[in-house]
Structure 1
């Protein structure tokens, strides 16, 4: 760091309405002859400018990716309305370019070395720093923001929510295939995220003042320049007044993305209104194990209760959690989506299973991508 340059400063935590939602989806652009990734993000962005839409549509790390996001939403009905509106415009633009838009956490057979870094200063800097990892970051996730009343409440929410990271991973898992191979993981996407040095969990602090001290120490090293450099599973977003949950694979349908955001909102309401438990540093003793189990086995994972060390079925824990937070989901208008997720958990169904079963029948990954593109249009 140059002598005269000022170290980055952690910006103040902005006010936001508690329990408001924001949803981001990273999506695949594929051609329609072999359904491999297609570098058409510039053309898509140019066509999308013709539409007046909520939220935003922006490029991502490589040029076969595009990210859509809602505005600030009060409930899942608004999330669904906004995502559908953006999705419908995306599909119309894709049709003009003779390409398709697809959900899912990974493209099943794209070759990372063929991807192009999108020409934007931050993406170029990341490519120079991380080398081939930047192109391997052609993976696709859903991020959910939840509004928090203040900074300390956000940190409390973050660490409470961390107990449910395996639930989020297993319910959203949609990345079983990488480079043409079945990885035997339900969510192989997160293995690419884990390669980055600032991934994993946030430091355990329940005070924004202490978090500011941590931020100051890390920025003094020059390793971190802003909050964007933390690739944590959940991170605070002070500029929005939210916490951002980043472990979801992009689902194959808009409806599932909406249901997952409702699950987060109902959990957050339960935390804020009932204060069910206080998070502890010791919760993180089983964090990495639980996260691995969910990535590898999805809904068949084992979940270790952080408080007791008891080993339970993750799918059963999801069903029990859904039952516990149902009154909050009902008040928020998220009950139908939560019920769908609980039913899928009980039956061991997620998008990874759908993709595998389709590949077992068709024996052609290009057909799997084609059918996934149809699901995205309709779902």
Structure 2
């Protein structure tokens, strides 16, 4: 097997005031300090209360862990100098999007102008996982196969049950907001890399978009790197959960390449069917399971993880990620960040405390637990 399956992880964080626990804008000096420590790995995001980090290219999850841990620690250290703290969550539990300001930067100014009122609601954070696939035609071949597993990754990552102080009854409200943008959702199926280039090129030639960075599908070929970039996941408060999800992404792609070497492939299901699982993951997280289209039944996430782990065991062993893949089974059993946030919210409410602020304190603790 020729592919190295190199790994890169991007995370977006929100900044909160340690006293009020409300969102706070990143001071320019704080951003400069972070960028000085990690040149090219820390950047502002669309809103001034957001900050983005990205690991370098890594051969394995163990190497990525140390990089991401240092990045999280760096942001935390410099934020604390301004009485701020980062939280890795896809929606702040009680902040109002109307109160936020977008970062003054040419790219973000253009985005605001292009998207109009839709952009104003983008008070959301996600995580992206890049897996190195050098061959372009292979990237096109793997995209529809990997798409089948996107709902599984979303379900295991869900961290946005609250929006504007209300329980949305969704596990990932972030996706509801993001789907208001154009060129989002599950990727189309392309028969070849040439077809993908022709399709994207039609919009570029017309001047609708300047390049493929403005295509925001749940899974896309990266514009800058020879990778497949999975974008469907909520950001995870716990570092080790992020790494487990990255390991799952990497192992699935290795499995699909292993199948290809034996002249096999994962069945391509209609986007209509995969979209139903996407909705179930968005609505319920890991609580209600997903549809197994092979045997036409709804299975619990724990059972699906058992079956998937059985398929991936050879790949996880080769990649050194048995522990990370095993961790996903525990997430399926005990729940995601959305589960924990709701529990903290209910317990605080029962004690007569401010439940939203209790959730933010909980998220601060989880961000720092593995550092």
TM-score (norm 2): 0.93
* Aligned residue runs from structure 1 range 106-185, under 5 A: 106-185=91-170
Is the counterpart of residue 25 in structure 1 residue 11 in structure 2?
yes
Residue 217 (structure 1) shift: 2.1
2 CA distance for matches of 1:278 and 1:164?
10
CA RMSD, Structure 1 to Structure 2 (Å) = 1.8
Shift of 1:83: 0.5
Q: Tell me the alpha carbon deviations over residues 200-251 of structure 1, each in whole angstroms, 9 at most, x when there is no partner.
A: 1222113111111112222244322211111100010143100110011110
* 1:233 lines up with 2:195 in the alignment: no
Distance (Å, rounded) in 1 between the aligned partners of 2:181 and 2:167: 23
Aligned to 1:8: none
Provide structure 2 residue ranges, at least 5 long, that are not aligned to the other structure. 350-354
Find the aligned partners of 2:95 and 2:253 in 1 and give their Cα distance.
37
Give CA deviations for 1:169-209 in whole Å, capped at 9, x if unaligned: 11100000000000101111100111012111222113111
Q: Report the counterpart of residue 92 of structure 1 in structure 2.
A: 77
Deviation of 1:159 (Å): 1.2
Aligned match of 1:328 in 283, 297, 315? 315
Q: Quick check: 2:130–2:227 contact (8 Å CA) kept in 1?
A: yes
| Partner Cα separation in structure 1 for residue 358 and residue 34 of structure 2 | 27
Q: Which residue of 2 is the match for residue 195 of structure 1?
A: 180
What SS does structure 2 have at the residue aligned with 1:88? helix
Structure 1 residues 1-379: aligned runs within 5 Å: 18-40=4-26, 42-51=28-37, 53=38, 56-275=41-260, 276-280=264-268, 282-307=269-294, 309-345=296-332, 347-363=333-349, 364-379=355-370
CA contact (8 A) 1:156 1:279 kept: no
1:373: how far off? 0.7
**Alpha-carbon distance in structure 2 between the residues aligned to 1:41 and 1:297:** 37
Render the CA deviation track for 1:91-122: whole Å, top value 9, x for unaligned. 11011111011011111111111111101111
Secondary structure at 1:222 match in 2:
coil
* CA spacing shift, 1:41–1:190, aligned 2, 3 Å: farther
Preserved contact between residue 185 and residue 295 of structure 1 (Cα < 8 Å): yes
Structure 1 residue 140 displacement after superposition: 0.7
> How far apart in 1 are the matches of 2:65 and 2:243?
6
C-alpha change, 1:73 and 1:21, in structure 2 (3 Å) is same
Deviation at residue 252 of structure 1 after TM alignment: 0.6
C-alpha distance in structure 2 between counterparts of 1:249 and 1:134, whole Å: 18
Report the Cα distance in structure 1 between the residues aligned to 2:308 and 2:39, rounded to whole angstroms: 32
Q: Distance in 1 between matches of 2:157 and 2:289?
A: 17
Partners of 2:171 and 2:29 in 1: CA distance: 32
Alignment: residue pair count: 361
Give the structure 2 partner of residue 5 of structure 1: none
Residue 130 of structure 1 and its aligned partner are, at CA, apart by: 1.5
Deviates more, 1:356-365 or 1:309-318: 309-318
Does the 8 Å CA contact 2:147/2:187 hold for their aligned counterparts? no
The answer on whether the counterparts of 2:4 and 2:59 sit within 8 Å (CA) in structure 1 is: no
Deviation at 1:86, TM superposition (A): 1.0
Please list the CA deviations of residues 308-364 of structure 1 after superposition, one character each: whole Å capped at 9, or x if unmatched.
Answer: 54433344212311222022112211110110111221x141111011111111121
Structure 1 CA distance for aligned equivalents of residues 248 and 39 of structure 2: 22
Structure 2 match to 1:4: none
